[in-house]
């Protein structure tokens, strides 16, 4: 990966894209450090330390929520909007038609995603402002309105910055901004870990164990991300006029983890909702119940979280891969899986393999999702260094995706040079 970046830096066009991406990243990080006027940052920071939901959201925003900066919502509203629109595209015929209309359809879906981002940003801004209302210096309607409009505007600006990276920079803009936010938390987490060792919270021998564990987890995520089952497909020969078609062999790639980090994002959003609602009513019986039985360290939370990750992994996979449609397309084009009859036997065979792969991938995602919680329960001193399952997977996926895009850009440049010659 480092060699890929080094070679890409030598190309003038790619170097300009890299510098543009870095410039946008700097602007984003500056916005994450400018607090919203009228908010006591120290009170918000204390809430982040005591509230598990705020702490998780603070990691995903790269510490912007802890500062209650103008980019406190981060890119999360745009991510949620994109996922919702993507799922609706699979079930609403009008959206499905737009997705097949080329550039015009893409523009319509992008506009709809922006409107959805605005609506979700407004809802999240209202919820978070009510959750940290004790941090507002002036407790009146205008103060609430100002804070809400500021963070909503920051969220929309963050979305625009992400779009600029996608169009003119390197990698996917949304993923890149999340990646930068997570990376910015690694150094403070490492410093906190060293301080805990120096303070005697746990022995120094924990350091190599933690390092080996982190390397093992990253290696396992890379393996699951790249792992796939290749189903061999053969095509019968057909004679049309004087030409012979078919007679070739290819494969259907079926990934171990086709849904990526989406199941964890959905699961976190749902399982954290009761805790978020409890922050709106801090001195009620419901708030005490949510803190005691629905908190991040409760058994109910862990079990429901894991089950939701598994459920959404199966849900997303079945929505994106249809064995019946794949079997139908193979039959129409003269293709067949070796040793399996075309038609229903092929679809049943693909469904069986898909279920096994999805089960393995979903169990792995569930384990990665709850691992930081279990580590924090085992030793509270290690809780701050656990950046979360979704964060770890995002780091790996974005790094691999960016390296792949750089390789594709260099390969395309070589082809262009060859054609010009």
Residues 257-294 have pLDDT tens digits of 877 777 877 787 778 777 777 777 777 787 778 777 77
What is the per-residue pLDDT for 243?
65
pLDDT (tens digit, 9 = 90+) per residue, 37-94?
888 888 888 877 766 667 767 777 777 888 888 998 888 888 788 878 877 887 788 8
Per-position b or e across 356-383, b if 16+ CB within 10 A of its CB: ebbeebbebbbebbbbbbebbbeeebbb
pLDDT of residue 418: 40
Is the pLDDT at 157 greater than 90? The verdict is yes
Which residue do the tokens 């054609």 mark?
419
> How far is the C-alpha of 215 from the C-alpha of 53, rounded, in Å?
27
| b/e burial code for range 152-162 (CB count within 10 A of at least 16 → b) | bebbbebbebb
**Tokens at 354, concatenated:** 């898909």
Q: How many helices (H) and strands (E) does the chain have?
A: 18, 5
Length of the chain as a residue count: 421
Q: What is the pLDDT of residues 194-216, one digit of tens each?
A: 777 777 766 677 778 778 877 88
Q: What CA–CA distance (Å, rounded) separates 18 from 22?
A: 6
**What is the Cα–Cα distance from 409 to 14, expressed in whole angstroms?**
8
Question: Measuring CA to CA, which residue among 183, 184, 145 is closest to residue 67?
Answer: 184
Residue burial 245-277, b: 16+ Cβ < 10 Å; e: rest: eeeeeeebebbbbbbbbbbbbbbbeebbebbbb
d(CA 372, CA 396): 17
SS3 342: coil
Please state whether beta strands 228-235 and 249-255 pair in parallel, antiparallel, or not at all (unpaired).
antiparallel
Asked if residues 32 and 71 have their Cβ atoms less than 8 Å apart, the reply is yes
DSSP string of 237-252? -EEETTEEE---EEEE
Q: How confident is the model at residue 237 (pLDDT cuts 50, 70, 90)?
A: low
Q: For 12-41, how does the pLDDT look when each residue is reduced to its tens digit (9 = 90+)?
A: 788 888 899 999 999 999 988 888 888 888
Between 141 and 393, whose confidence is greater? 141
């Amino acid at each position: 990966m480092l060699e890929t970046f080094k070679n890409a830096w030598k190309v003038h066009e790619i170097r300009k894209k890299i510098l543009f991406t870095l410039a946008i990243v700097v602007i984003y990080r500056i916005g994450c450090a400018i607090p919203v006027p009228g908010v006591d940052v120290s009170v918000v920071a204390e809430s982040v330390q005591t509230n598990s939901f705020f702490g998780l959201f603070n990691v995903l925003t790269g510490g912007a929520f802890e500062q209650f900066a103008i980019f406190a919502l981060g890119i999360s509203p745009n991510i949620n909007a994109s996922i919702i629109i993507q799922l609706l595209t699979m079930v609403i015929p009008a959206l499905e038609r737009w997705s097949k209309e080329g550039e015009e359809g893409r523009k319509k879906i992008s506009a709809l995603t922006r409107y959805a981002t605005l609506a979700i940003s407004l809802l999240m801004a209202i919820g978070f402002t009510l959750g940290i209302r004790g941090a507002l210096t002036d407790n009146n309607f205008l103060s609430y309105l100002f804070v809400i409009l500021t963070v909503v505007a920051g969220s929309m600006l963050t979305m625009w910055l992400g779009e600029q990276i996608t169009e003119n920079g390197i990698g996917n803009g949304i993923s890149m901004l999340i990646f930068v936010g997570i990376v910015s938390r690694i150094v403070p987490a490492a410093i906190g870990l060293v301080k805990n060792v120096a303070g005697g919270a746990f022995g120094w021998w924990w350091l190599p164990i933690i390092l080996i564990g982190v390397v093992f987890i990253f290696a396992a995520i890379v393996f699951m991300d790249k792992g796939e089952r290749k189903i061999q497909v053969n095509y019968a020969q057909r004679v049309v006029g004087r030409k012979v078609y078919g007679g070739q062999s290819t494969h259907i790639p079926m990934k171990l983890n086709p849904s990526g980090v989406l199941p964890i994002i959905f699961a976190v959003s749902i399982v954290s909702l009761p805790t978020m609602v409890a922050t709106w009513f801090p001195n009620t019986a419901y708030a005490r119940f949510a803190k005691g039985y629905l908190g991040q360290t409760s058994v109910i939370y862990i079990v429901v979280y894991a089950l939701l990750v598994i459920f959404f992994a199966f849900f997303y996979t079945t929505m994106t891969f249809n064995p019946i449609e794949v079997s139908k397309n193979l039959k129409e084009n003269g293709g067949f899986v070796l040793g399996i009859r075309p038609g229903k036997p092929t679809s049943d065979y693909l469904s069986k393999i898909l279920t096994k792969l999805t089960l393995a991938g979903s169990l792995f995602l569930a384990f990665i999702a709850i691992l930081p919680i279990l580590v924090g329960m085992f030793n509270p001193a290690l809780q701050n260094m656990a950046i979360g399952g979704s964060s770890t997977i995002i780091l790996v996926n974005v790094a691999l995706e960016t390296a792949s895009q750089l390789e594709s850009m260099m390969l395309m440049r070589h082809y262009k040079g060859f054609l010009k010659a």
